[in-house]
């Protein structure tokens, strides 16, 4: 009887650990090195594709394919500074460029006034 109780306890323990490890499977984050630019001030207050107004002081971005609301960590490899932006628009429309940052986001990572800069993107699709 003791052995049966011990075996059933061991089985329940192993079974619950297996379920815990299965439920913690989070999607892997995607990492890419791309070229980025930023919005010109003339777009302040204009509607984005998502319907939100562009605000230079907000940490937002435009991306051609990522779903609206996706949070993207953008890192400048030259200085290691990072910022998390929320995708709320479509663009950029040049095939060389992958992401348009808001003015504030570009300033935070040190690419403002450079025009175009190499950045690293990291995001998770659910």
Burial of 68: CB neighbours in 10 Å, binned 0-12, 13-18, 19+:
middle
Q: What total number of domains does the chain contain?
A: 1
pLDDT, tens digit, for every residue of 63-78?
A: 999 999 999 999 999 9
pLDDT, tens digit, for every residue of 12-38?
A: 444 444 444 444 455 678 999 999 999
CA 50-51-54 angle, to 5 degrees, is 95
Please report whether residue 118 resides in a domain.
Answer: yes
What DSSP designation does 41 have? G
SS percent in the chain: helix, strand, coil, step 5: 25, 30, 45
CATH number at residue 101: 2.40.40.10
Please report whether residue 10 resides in a domain.
Answer: no
pTM of the model: 0.77
Please name which of 77, 73, 124 lies closest in space to residue 99, comparing C-alpha atoms: 73
């Amino acid at each position: 009887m003791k052995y049966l109780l011990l075996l059933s306890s061991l089985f329940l323990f192993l079974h619950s650990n297996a379920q815990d490890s299965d439920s913690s499977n989070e999607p892997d984050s995607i990492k890419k090195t791309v070229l980025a630019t930023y919005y010109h001030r003339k777009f302040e207050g204009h509607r984005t594709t998502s319907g939100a107004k562009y605000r230079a002081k907000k940490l937002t971005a435009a991306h051609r394919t990522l779903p609206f609301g996706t949070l993207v960590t953008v890192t400048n490899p030259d200085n290691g500074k990072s910022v998390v932006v929320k995708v709320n628009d479509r663009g950029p429309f040049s095939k060389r460029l992958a992401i348009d940052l808001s003015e504030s986001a570009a300033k935070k990572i040190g690419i403002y006034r450079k025009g175009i800069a190499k950045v690293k993107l990291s995001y998770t699709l659910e």
